[in-house]
Structure 1
Amino acid sequence: MKYIFLPIIFIFLALNSCSKKKEEVVVLKNEQGMRLMVNGEDFIINGMNWDYFPVGTNFSYSLWQQPNAFIKKALETEMTLLKELGVNTIRVYEGIQPKWITYIYEKYGIYTMLNHSFGRYGVSINGNWKPETDYTNVNAQKSLLAEVVQMTKTYKNTPGLLLFLLGNENNYGLFWAGSETEDFPEEETEKKKIGEIRGRAMYKLMNEAAVQMKKVDASHPIAICNGDLLFIDIIAEECKDVDIYGTNMYRGKSFLDAFDIVKKKLNMPVLFTEFGSDAFNAINNKEDQKMQAFYLVENWKEIYKNVAGLGKAENAIGGFTFQFSDGWWKYGQTINLDVHDNDASWATKAYDYDYQENHNNMNEEWFGICAKGPTNNKGLYTLYPRAAYYALKEAHQLNPYSEGMTTSLVLKHFNEIKLNDALIKAANNKVVLE
C-alpha cells in the first residue's frame, strides 16, 4: 500500500502547488511596442476604481474590517456586476487582506492592483501622524520605504495580485493642503518651483521604493500614479526603475498627445489609473447619463487604439475607469454624508457638455457608472447601473490583442456602440431607484 499511497501524495502536493503558484507579470518592450504580459499572454487592463462605502459613511469606513459573511455578501453583488461588465482588474488601496485579493480572483476572475498612497494624505513618523508629507524629511523617507517594503513582503505571493501602484496624483498633493479636489494653479513658474523644491525628492523616493520592492518581489511590476503629465521631465530623470507610468487624467473626450509624450520622454507603458466623467450636468442641474457614457466610450476607444501592435503610440496597457459607484462623501468629506450633493468642486473646459465660463462643472459625488441605493438595516446597498455601464460592457468585449486586430476594427467596434440603447437599458434602473 505504501508504494501506491506515496505517489498519490506527491501528485496531490504537486497539483496543489501548481494551483497556488503565483503568476508572473511582466512589462514587455519590443519592436511592436509595450505591453503587459501575464504568464506569457498579452493582458489588457480593463480596470475599475472600486471601493465600498455605504451611504452615510466616508473614507473612515473599511469593508475589510467587517465580518467575513458581510464582506462575502457585499462582494457577491459588486464583483458579479464587475465581471458581467468585462472588468478584469480592480484598483484597491492597501488595507484589503491578501485572502480577499485571492478570493476575488478565484471566485470572480478579477485581479487586483494594490495601491499604497505613499504619503499622499500624510505619513506616520515614529508613531506620530503628519497630515502633510515632506519628502525631503529623512524620517519620512525611512517610514515610507519601510511601509512599502513590508507591503511587498505581505502580498508578494498572493494569487490574484497583478501589480503594485505607488501614490495617487501625489504631485497635486504638493499644492493642495487636503485630499478634496480643487482647481489647479495655472502659473507655470510656480509649478516648476514646487516641482524642484518638493517634487524631485518625492519622485526620487518613489524610484528608491521601486528598487527596494523589486528586491522582495520581482514578479509584479511597479507603477506610480501621477496627476496628468505634470513634472514628467523630473520623472524621466528620477524614476528610471519604475516599470509603468500611471496617470490620473481628466481631459474630456480625448487624452490628446499624452501617449506620444509618455513614449518620447519616459519610454514606459502608460496606464490610466483614473479617468472618466461625472453623470451630473452642471448647466441643466440634473443627472446626464448620456454625457457620462459619451466621454467614457471615447476614452476607452483611444486606449485600445494605442496598444502595442496597432501602429499608433503602441504604449497603452489599459486603464481604470473612475469609478464604479457614486461617492456620497466626496464633496464635504465629513459632512452631509447622507446627501447626494450636486455642488461642483472644480472646473475644466475639456468637458464641454456642461462647461460655462467661471462656473465649476465637475461633480465629485456623481462619477459612478452605477448609482448607489440606500443602506439597508444590514449595512448593505444595491447598485443601479447607468448608461455608461452598458456602453462599457460592449466596449470591453473587444480584445485589442486578437489576431488580425487593426485600428480600423477598433473604430468599427466602438462606432457600433449606441449610447441611446445604453440609455434605454439603464432607464428602468433609474425608475426603480427613484
Structure 2
Amino acid sequence: MKNSLLRLVLVLFTLSFYAQSEKVAIVKDGKGIRLEVDGKPFIVNGINWDYVPIGYNVLDAKFWEKPDDIIKAGLDEEMALWQNMGVNAIRTYIGMPPKWITYIYENFGIYTMINHQFGAYGLTLDGVWYPKTKYGTEKVRKHLIEASVKMANLYKNTPGLLLFMLGNENNYHLTWEGAETDEGIVINDQDKAKRAEARAMYKLFNDAALAMKAVDKNHPIGICNGDLLYLDIVAQECKDLDIYGTNMYRGVSFYDAFDKVKKEFNKPILFTEFGSDAYNARDNKEDQLMQAYYMVNNWKEIYANSYGLGKAENSIGGFTFQSSDGWFKAGFDERKNADIHDTKASWPSNGYSRDQAKPGDKNMNEEWFGIAAKGPTDIRGLYTLYPRAAYYALKEVHKFNPFKSNATEFENHFKNINLMDAVLRARGDKASVGGTEKISLTNLRAEFTTFNTGGSLIKTPNVADGTGQTYPNKLGFDHMQSYYIGVQGKPTNNMKAEVNFNILGNVAGNPIDDIFYENVGRPIQVDTPDGVVTLTDNNRLRVYNAEFEWNAKGFDMRGFYRTGHYHWGYEGDFFGLYPEANYGPNLDIYNGEILGMEVDGKGVLSGLKAAFGPQLWWGANPAVLLKYQRKIAGLDFSAVYHKDLVSGNGIDENGNRILDPAQTRTGVIPFLPTERATIAFEKKGTHFGFQLGAIWAGRPLNGRTFQVATGTSGNYIVYNDRINSKDNWGVKLK
C-alpha cells in the first residue's frame, strides 16, 4: 500500500513538473549573450507563423475560433513540417489560446513567442477607432499597459511559452498609416516632432515591460522595432527591456546591425522578421533560388554573431519571415483581392539586387515571402503547404548548433549547403503550386429567384397577354434563372485577364419593381415590314464584367469593364477630377456601364499616371486624364489634366451648344464636354499640414449663356451673361 502511494505521489509530482512553464532567461558572460531555457542554452530557430487560407485575411480567417478537431488537424500538418525543418519557435500574435501553445510544444517541441501589436496599426479607445496611436496621452498609456499586463497574466504559466514581444515596427507607424507597407513616405529620424513622439512611445514600452515583470518574472520581454530607427532613444528609454527585436530587410547582409546594438544598447538582438520574397520582380517570375540565397546568408550572419563564436556575440536567433505566402496583403487596407496572388512589387530595397534592373526599382513582393507555397482551401478551411527551396536550405542551416561548434566548424557547415540541391528538391515537391495553369475557371454561380404578385384593388391580369409589354404581367408566381461563368487567362506571370459571362434562362415578368439586371432579357416589340414582331430571346448571353492587368518593365496597365476603380484623391488629385467608380449593386440594378484603362509609369516614367476610355465612370464622356506626381523642395507636387473627347462641342453666336447631325437625329446627347487642368502642393506635418491648389476649367464652355436670378419672391431680377476666360480659374486651400 505504501509503495502504491509513493508511486502516486511520484506521478503527480512529475505531472506537476511538466505542467509548469519553464524559466527563460538572458545570460551574459565573457563569451557574449545567450538565451537559456531552464538553464540550457537556446538559439531561436524561429519562423513567423499564421494560418490564413487563400481568400481570407488575418482578421476574418479566425483559425482559433474553429472547432478543436479542425485546429488540431491544421496544427498537426503544419507543425510537423516546421519540426522537420528544425524550427524550435514560432512567432504569432495574441489571440492564440494558451492550450494550443502547450499542444504545439508537447507534440512538436516548438515554443511560441507571443506578440502584442501595442497600437502599431491604430487603436480602439472607448469604442472609437484611432488610425494613429498617440503614445504620450494618459488614456493610451493606461490602455496599453493594462493590455500588456492582461497578456502576461493570460500566458505566464503556459508550458511552451518562450518570451513576450511588444509591438511591430511601431516606429515606422509614427509616420505610416494602415497595415500595408508604405514606400511613399520618407522616414526622417532627425525630425524633432517625430523624435518626441518616439520618446513617448519607447518610454511606454518600458513602463509596460515593468508592469509585466511584476506579473511574470520567468519570461523575457522585448520590443519589435523597425530596423535600427531611433536606437539611441531606445537605449535611453528602454533600460528595463530584455531583448532588442527588429524587423530588418537589408538584403544579403545585416551589415553593422549587431555591432551597433551591442555598442548603443548592449542587449541581445533578435531578428523578429527578415528574409526574402520568392518572386523576381525584374524577370516577372517565381525565383526560389534567389529566396534561398538571401535566407541562408541572413542566417549565416545570425549564427556568426551568436554566443561564443567571436564576432558581436549578441545574437540570440531569429524568426524567418514567413511560413507561407500571404495572399491577402496587397489589398488588405481595402479588404479586397485576398484570392489573388499579387505579383506587383510594392516597395524597393536595393539590398536585394538580384531582382532589380537598377537601384531604386520596386522589388519587394509582399505576398510571396512564404518559404512554402499555399495550396487551395478544402471544405474544412484547411490547406496543404508546398515547401520551396528555402525550406530545404534552412533545414540544413538549422542543423548547426552554435553552442557546440567553433568558428571553423561554422564555416564548413555553411560551405556545404548546396542551394541548387534545395531547388531541385522543391521542384519534386510541387512547390510552384498552380504555377503552370494558363486558363482557369474562377466563377461558377447560379441564381434562382421566385416572385409572387398578388393583392386587391389592382388591375394586374390573372394571365399574361403574351406581348411582354406590361409589368407586372400577371398575378401569381414566376421565376428567374441567371447563371454566371468566369474564366481567367494567365499567359505569363506578369499578365492576366478575367471575363465573367451572364447567361439568362427564364426572366420573370411579374415583379412589381421592373428595374433589375436581367430585365434586358424581357420580350420587346419591333416594327417590321410584316407588322409588329415580339422578340423573346434577347441578351441571353452577355459579358457581365471583365478586367485585365499587365505589369511590364516600363509600366503597369489595368483595363476594366464594369469592375470599377478607385479615385486619385490620395494621389494628388486635390480637385477630384478622377472620381471613384465602385457602385456596388446599383450598376446591376440600372444596367450601368464603365469601361476604360489605367496606366502607371515606372522607371523614368515613375510618377506619371494615365486613364482613358469611353466611360471611365458611370455616365462619363469619352475622356483622357493624365496625372504627374513628384517631390519638389520637400513638398508633394501633383498636376492633373482632363479632357473629354466629344464631338459637337462648339458654341454658336447666341451662346447655345452646337450638336453634330448624329446627336440631333438620335437624341443621344452626351453631357457637356469639359477640359480641366490642376496643380497642387501638399505638406504633411505632425500637428499641421496644408494643401494648396489651382484649377483651370478649360475652354469648351466659353461663350455659353447662363442666367443668374437675384431678389425675393415676386421681385426677381434675372441677369443673362456668358462664360468667358476669366471664369476658368480657381484656387483652393485646405
> TM-score range, shorter-chain basis?
over 0.9
Deviates more, 1:164-173 or 1:116-125: 116-125
Residue type matched to 2:383 in 1? Y
Q: Deviations over 1:136-187 (max 9, x none)?
A: 1110110010011011011100000000000001101111011101216446
Deviation of 1:12 (Å): 2.6
Once residues 251 and 409 of structure 1 are traced to their aligned partners in structure 2, the CA distance between those partners, rounded to angstroms, is: 26
Partner of 2:569: none
Partner of 1:386: 388
Secondary structure, counterpart of 1:401 in structure 2: helix
Are 2:248 and 2:271, in contact at CA under 8 Å, matched by a contact in 1?
yes
Partner of 2:340: 339
Secondary structure, counterpart of 2:429 in structure 1: helix
Once residues 12 and 395 of structure 1 are traced to their aligned partners in structure 2, the CA distance between those partners, rounded to angstroms, is: 39
Once residues 291 and 194 of structure 2 are traced to their aligned partners in structure 1, the CA distance between those partners, rounded to angstroms, is: 33
Are 1:373 and 1:383, in contact at CA under 8 Å, matched by a contact in 2?
yes
Q: Does 1:100 align with 2:100?
A: yes
State the TM-score, normalizing by the size of structure 2: 0.57
Deviation of 1:432 (Å): 7.3
Secondary structure, counterpart of 1:433 in structure 2: coil
Residue type matched to 2:285 in 1? K
Secondary structure, counterpart of 2:210 in structure 1: helix
Once residues 431 and 368 of structure 1 are traced to their aligned partners in structure 2, the CA distance between those partners, rounded to angstroms, is: 11
Structure with the higher fraction of residues in strand conformation: 2
CA gap of 1:187–1:425, structure 2 versus 1, over 3 A, is closer
Q: Deviations over 1:211-251 (max 9, x none)?
A: 01000000000010000000000000000000000000001
Q: Does 1:17 align with 2:19?
A: no
Deviation of 1:197 (Å): 2.6
Secondary structure, counterpart of 2:292 in structure 1: helix
Once residues 184 and 407 of structure 2 are traced to their aligned partners in structure 1, the CA distance between those partners, rounded to angstroms, is: 35
Are 1:195 and 1:231, in contact at CA under 8 Å, matched by a contact in 2?
no
Are 1:223 and 1:245, in contact at CA under 8 Å, matched by a contact in 2?
yes
Partner of 2:649: none
Deviation of 1:378 (Å): 1.9
- Count of residues in Structure 1 that have an aligned counterpart in Structure 2: 430
Q: Deviations over 1:260-319 (max 9, x none)?
A: 000000000000000000000001100000000000000000010111111110000000
Secondary structure, counterpart of 1:170 in structure 2: coil
Are 2:121 and 2:177, in contact at CA under 8 Å, matched by a contact in 1?
no
Residue type matched to 1:24 in 2? K
Partner of 2:492: none
Pick from 360, 364, 367 the counterpart of residue 365 of structure 1. Answer: 367
Once residues 44 and 431 of structure 1 are traced to their aligned partners in structure 2, the CA distance between those partners, rounded to angstroms, is: 28
Secondary structure, counterpart of 1:134 in structure 2: coil
Residue type matched to 1:47 in 2? G
Unaligned 5+ segments in structure 1 are none
Partner of 1:33: 32
CA gap of 1:187–1:385, structure 2 versus 1, over 3 A, is closer
RMSD of Structure 2 on Structure 1 (CA):
1.4
Deviation of 1:379 (Å): 1.1
Q: Does 1:282 align with 2:281?
A: yes
Residue type matched to 2:384 in 1? T
Residue type matched to 2:407 in 1? T
Residue type matched to 1:108 in 2? F
Partner of 1:395: 397
CA gap of 1:194–1:290, structure 2 versus 1, over 3 A, is farther
Deviation of 1:196 (Å): 1.9
Unaligned 5+ segments in structure 2 are 435-734
Correspondence 1:39-188 to 2 at 5 A: 39-60=38-59, 61-183=61-183, 185-186=185-186, 188=188
CA gap of 1:13–1:213, structure 2 versus 1, over 3 A, is same
Once residues 366 and 212 of structure 1 are traced to their aligned partners in structure 2, the CA distance between those partners, rounded to angstroms, is: 38
Q: Does 1:223 align with 2:219?
A: no
Once residues 296 and 99 of structure 2 are traced to their aligned partners in structure 1, the CA distance between those partners, rounded to angstroms, is: 34
Deviation of 1:370 (Å): 0.3
Are 1:180 and 1:330, in contact at CA under 8 Å, matched by a contact in 2?
yes
CA gap of 1:150–1:433, structure 2 versus 1, over 3 A, is same
Deviates more, 1:41-50 or 1:127-136: 127-136
Deviation of 1:431 (Å): 6.9
Once residues 184 and 171 of structure 2 are traced to their aligned partners in structure 1, the CA distance between those partners, rounded to angstroms, is: 11
Partner of 2:309: 310
Once residues 258 and 41 of structure 1 are traced to their aligned partners in structure 2, the CA distance between those partners, rounded to angstroms, is: 26
State the TM-score, normalizing by the size of structure 1: 0.96
Deviation of 1:127 (Å): 3.7
Once residues 123 and 187 of structure 1 are traced to their aligned partners in structure 2, the CA distance between those partners, rounded to angstroms, is: 22
Once residues 290 and 331 of structure 1 are traced to their aligned partners in structure 2, the CA distance between those partners, rounded to angstroms, is: 24
Deviation of 1:366 (Å): 0.2
Partner of 2:244: 245
Once residues 140 and 187 of structure 2 are traced to their aligned partners in structure 1, the CA distance between those partners, rounded to angstroms, is: 29
* Identical amino acids, percent of aligned pairs: 56
Are 2:373 and 2:432, in contact at CA under 8 Å, matched by a contact in 1?
no
Q: Does 1:193 align with 2:195?
A: no
Secondary structure, counterpart of 1:26 in structure 2: strand
Secondary structure, counterpart of 2:27 in structure 1: strand
Q: Deviations over 1:350-392 (max 9, x none)?
A: 1000123443100000000000111112211111100000000
Deviation of 1:22 (Å): 1.7
Are 1:124 and 1:143, in contact at CA under 8 Å, matched by a contact in 2?
no
Once residues 246 and 431 of structure 2 are traced to their aligned partners in structure 1, the CA distance between those partners, rounded to angstroms, is: 36
Bigger relative CO (Cα 8 Å, ≥ 6 apart)? 1
Q: Deviations over 1:53-82 (max 9, x none)?
A: 000000212211111011001001110100
Once residues 365 and 359 of structure 1 are traced to their aligned partners in structure 2, the CA distance between those partners, rounded to angstroms, is: 17
Once residues 408 and 185 of structure 1 are traced to their aligned partners in structure 2, the CA distance between those partners, rounded to angstroms, is: 44
Q: Deviations over 1:379-424 (max 9, x none)?
A: 111111000000000000010111xx22222121111111110011
Are 2:182 and 2:347, in contact at CA under 8 Å, matched by a contact in 1?
yes
Are 1:136 and 1:202, in contact at CA under 8 Å, matched by a contact in 2?
yes
Partner of 1:348: 349
Are 1:36 and 1:44, in contact at CA under 8 Å, matched by a contact in 2?
yes
Deviation of 1:19 (Å): 1.6
Once residues 238 and 173 of structure 1 are traced to their aligned partners in structure 2, the CA distance between those partners, rounded to angstroms, is: 19
Are 2:118 and 2:167, in contact at CA under 8 Å, matched by a contact in 1?
yes
Once residues 29 and 432 of structure 2 are traced to their aligned partners in structure 1, the CA distance between those partners, rounded to angstroms, is: 51
Deviation of 1:7 (Å): 3.2
Deviation of 1:198 (Å): 1.3
Residue type matched to 2:78 in 1? E
Deviation of 1:128 (Å): 3.1
Residue type matched to 2:103 in 1? Y
Secondary structure, counterpart of 2:328 in structure 1: coil
Deviation of 1:4 (Å): 4.9
CA gap of 1:147–1:325, structure 2 versus 1, over 3 A, is same
Once residues 184 and 97 of structure 1 are traced to their aligned partners in structure 2, the CA distance between those partners, rounded to angstroms, is: 37
Are 1:247 and 1:274, in contact at CA under 8 Å, matched by a contact in 2?
yes
Once residues 272 and 184 of structure 1 are traced to their aligned partners in structure 2, the CA distance between those partners, rounded to angstroms, is: 25
> Which ranges of 4 or more aligned residues in structure 1 deviate by more than 3 Å?
3-9, 184-188
Q: Does 1:375 align with 2:377?
A: yes
Partner of 1:415: 415
Residue type matched to 1:365 in 2? E
Secondary structure, counterpart of 2:271 in structure 1: strand
Residue type matched to 2:382 in 1? L
State which structure, 1 or 2, has the greater radius of gyration over its C-alpha atoms. 2
Once residues 310 and 43 of structure 1 are traced to their aligned partners in structure 2, the CA distance between those partners, rounded to angstroms, is: 15
Secondary structure, counterpart of 2:355 in structure 1: coil
Are 2:349 and 2:360, in contact at CA under 8 Å, matched by a contact in 1?
no
Q: Deviations over 1:8-40 (max 9, x none)?
A: 432232122112122110000111100000111
